[in-house]
Structure 1
Amino acid sequence: MSDESPLNFKQRDFLKQLKNSLMAKIAMIAIIIALLYIPKSLILDLIHERENRSAEVLKEIQHKWGGPQNIYGAILSIPLASDKETFIHLHPEKLDILGQIHPEERKKSIFKTIVYKSDLDYQLAFNFTSITQLYGKEKLLWDQAILSFGISDLKGLSRQINLKHCEQNINARPGIPIDNGLKTGFHFPLNLDANEQQITLSTQLQINGSQELSFVPSGRQSIIQVQSTWPHPGFEGKYLPTSYNISDTGFDSHWEIHDLQRDFISSWRDREHALEQETCSVRLIQFNGSYSQVHRLVKYTLLFLCFTFAAIFICERLSGQIIHPLQYILFGFASLMFYVLLLSISEHLSFALAYLIASVICSIMMALYSRSLLANWKNSLSIGFTTGGLYGYLYGTIQLEDYALLMGSLGLIITLATVMYFTRDLSRYNTKEIKA
């Protein structure tokens, strides 16, 4: 007689049935996927930590080189004879800017960013007809006029600046000595002739900065042309270019803005007018920001785990082998390690190459591990190729940002349809149960 009680026999029979139950297996996989979201959150924290460190290095470089530059220029200010503390301020009648942006790479430790040097040629024309009619020539101190330029980050001024007026070369002086609405910048003292109704001025600026260069179109007619060898510009600000051309060798952009388009007034007294910061901006866009791309990939963790576990589950059922829950967990950890490996490699290599290396390593690792579990090269290669194909699918998904949601939805539908197909005849699997 057997010493085993009927109760123990029933328990063993129940555990055997639970072990080979299809629903129990699916429930177990769902629980494992839910538990894997805990290490997923740790991976997201790691991405944020590395991204913050990269941002700190970027700020250090900008602090020494020059940050995003916003140039307001120019404002001509003429004091009243009756009160030398009161100024009449003028915007240019015509403002022409011809700019060249020269991008450069700056690196600190393993982090790098793009900065630029810019060469800017300013041509200015002022007309005094309206203010002489309003105040009279004799009521303005023409010989004490001041021409001011505003600039957001003075560290970017890399050389001495001269202003050409008639036959004179006038050196720039630091700061804004009057209250004309500009906070930081430089100025030129001018000795104007009261009999002149209009003047033309020119100057060349060489300004260092990073990420973005902006201009305020302060002239009644402003024509701005910016060229660069950087192939990925982003046009921002209130005014978009009138025309532009972008190629692999760089870009050429052109703005033409007149006074009917803007809220500026041409002249004002003291601070009766608040300066508008309406800008024409060009940003040097960097596509090698691997942190944002890895972060987007992590958002597809559910899709990736569903694909991977579906492939393992199908191969398990077709082979008649039983994979332990712990082994499913190890497959899940291998899938999550892909993100950590990708993050670490992409800090040293291009994102595309890092993605290829990380996906090949993880696909081979999961294929070899499944070979030891399923004892069948056909099934293990199926898991390896499925995983590799999934990596390729996800790479294509993050490249098509506008269609990412559509691609992800289709992927989940395909996964569900595949599992439904291979589990359509449950009675066939019951014949493959492992006998005690």
Structure 2
Amino acid sequence: MENQMQENQNKGSFFQSTTAKMMMVGLLTLVLLIPLEFVKDLISERSQRKQEVTDEVTQLWGKDVLFYGPIMQIPYKTYEEYNVTNPKTKVVTIEKKATISYAYFFPEKLNNTSNVKKNTSLKRGIYNNVVFTANMNFDGHFSKPNFEKLNINEGDLLWDKASIVVKTTNLKSIKSDLKIKLNNQAFSFESKPEDEDAIYGTLVTNTFNYKTLVNNGKIDFNFLMQYNGSNSVKFIPVGKITVVNIDSDWESPSYEGAFAANDTTKIINKKGFHADWKILDINRTFSQQYVDKIPNLNEYSFGAKLIETVNEYQQNERASKYGFLMIGLTFLVFFLIQSISKINIHIFQYTMLGLALIMFYTLLISITEHSSFAFAYLIASASVITMIVLYSISILKNKKFPTFIGLSLVALYTFIFVIIQLENYALLVGSIGLFIILGAVMYFSRKIDWGK
């Protein structure tokens, strides 16, 4: 009988020991990862919903703008020989059949000046979809075509059937009158059925006589195009000399493509950005003339991507990744207070504290969708800290420890917010912060008797 009572006493003392309590708090921390994962799924679901709305709006308004042209198109005759046998005399003669092919010539000089203005008025539900209107001014000239490189006999050329071709995405989002001036004569563009290269739409002018239009071996051109678009504006440098200038009120561009913008003239500030490119034919490896088909030169495209540097769902996702750290460190603070002060904190109370910490992330995502991330973070963290401090007063029966807990939580949430805002130095600041936290834990736990 005495042995059984002694055994029960030993069992009770183990479950009341610091080691047992630490094991239970650790297990609870792992269990709370389950609702934390549900919160992460909620953030992903809301982010996906926003992307679906954005795709729907941009499909109606206009997607990426990619411009390829202008290109001069001149048809010419090619001949195919075939044998014809006379059924009566059985004599075989050789005849020729003429077919029409096309030669394509890129401009000698191509200049573009584009002004891109953002449009923030397209709101769908709670989502603001930022798109833009691009006003593009093109000018330059074509020099005399060189048919020798293409092995074309000039006598086979149909000079009076020449035309100008432009390939571009977003045909349905062009909002300007499509006309081009060639040596001050106006010609209208018409859309052409899509070919197998489905990324582009094709615009072709009505035909003109090259020989009567050319002046001193050149054909000057200029035209305007206005697009509704989103995401990016890019060009293919078809000119022997291509000069592109982009001005925009968008404050967060990303320069992309095969060619870098000029560093000496590049400007990015709160009012927008300015970028210049000058590309010579020796900077790329394609020719200035082709036969039969205009090649796909997407790999040589360049321009500006208009990005959202601050994506509220990405920031919420990053914040949720630190959820385990927040729960673990908060429990650690309570556990140290419990061990030092000998105040008993029940596992149920730890559970309530953990759920309050997880509620921070649902508050954060819900408030962010209606305001800025910084404001939502402030409101959500202040609400959770206040709730935990008030609950701590009822648990710990004094105000000294709850005050310390409140200050600790303020420091933790501030630390996490700073890490989320940083990009290049996030790892460095995070490592230093965790090192300091580890040092503090080692200092405060140095006198705890872990054998009890």
Fold similarity call, TM over 0.5:
yes
Give the conservation status (yes or no) of the 8 Å contact 1:110–1:347. Answer: yes
Task: Determine which of 12, 29, 47 is the counterpart of 1:51.
Answer: 47
Which of 295, 312, 322 is equivalent to 1:300? 322
Deviates more, 1:27-36 or 1:223-232: 27-36
C-alpha distance in 2 between matches for 1:229 and 1:248: 8
- Assess, with a 3 A threshold, how the Cα gap between structure 1 residues 299 and 417 changes in structure 2: closer, same or farther: same
Aligned residue runs from structure 1 range 270-349, under 5 A: 270-271=292-293, 273-349=295-371
Give deviations 1:191-239, integer Å, cap 9, x for gaps: 1332632211110000110111111111111100000011111111111
The match for 2:104 is: 89
1:39 corresponds in structure 2 to 35
Q: Match of 2:261, SS?
A: coil
* 1:130 matched residue in structure 2: 146
Distance 1:181 1:96, change over 3 A: farther
Determine whether 1:169 maps to 2:165: no
> Displacement, 1:186?
1.4
Query: Deviations 1:346-382 (Å, cap 9, x if unpaired)?
Result: 0000111111111111111111111110011111111
> Which of residues 8, 11, 15 in structure 2 aligns to 1:11?
8
Residue type at the aligned position of 2:428: L
Letter in 1 for 2:391: Y
Q: Confirm or deny: 8 A CA contact 1:303 1:411 kept in the other structure.
A: no
CA contact (8 A) 1:319 1:374 kept: no
What does the per-residue CA deviation read over 1:276-328, in whole Å, with 9 as the maximum and x for residues that have no partner? 44111211111341111111111112321222112212222333211111111
Stretch of structure 1 that moved more, 303-312 or 55-64: 303-312
Amino acid in structure 1 at the alignment position of 2:411: G
1:102–1:229 contact (8 Å) kept in structure 2: yes
Structure 1 range deviating more: 81-90 or 305-314 = 81-90
The aligned amino acid for 1:169 is A
Helix, strand or coil: the match of 2:52?
helix
User: Quick check: 1:89–1:180 contact (8 Å CA) kept in 2?
Assistant: no
Equivalent position to 2:259, from 239, 249, 262: 239
CA distance in 2, matches of 1:358, 1:246: 33
**Match in the other structure for 1:389:** 411
CA distance in 1, matches of 2:331, 2:50: 35
For the 8 Å contact 1:176–1:186, the answer to whether it is kept is no
Deviation at 1:137, TM superposition (A): 4.5
Identity %: 31
2:162 and 2:210 in contact (8 A); partners too? no
State the TM-score, normalizing by the size of structure 1: 0.92
Which whole-Å deviations, capped at 9, do the CAs of 1:11-59 have from their partners, x for residues lacking one? 134313431x222222222211111111111111111110111011001
Name the residue aligned to 1:260.
Answer: 282
**Alignment equivalent of 1:367, drawn from 389, 395, 405:** 389
CA positional deviation for 1:84 = 5.7
Alignment correspondent of 1:113: 129
Q: 1:159 aligns with which of 162, 176, 182?
A: 176
Identify the residue that residue 230 of structure 1 maps to in structure 2. Answer: 250
Aligned to 2:88: none
Aligned to 2:234: 214
Counterpart amino acid of 2:26? A
* Alpha-carbon distance change, 81 to 10 in structure 1, aligned in 2, over 3 angstroms: closer
The answer to whether the 8 Å contact 1:211/1:285 transfers is yes
Structure 2 residue aligned with 1:98 = 113
Would you identify which runs of 4 or more consecutive aligned residues in structure 1 move more than 6 Å? 177-182
Aligned equivalents of 2:308, 2:298: Cα separation in 1:
29
Equivalent residue, structure 2, for 1:80: 76
Secondary structure in structure 2 of the residue aligned to 1:164: strand
Q: Does structure 2 conserve the Cα–Cα contact (< 8 Å) formed by 1:64 and 1:155?
A: no
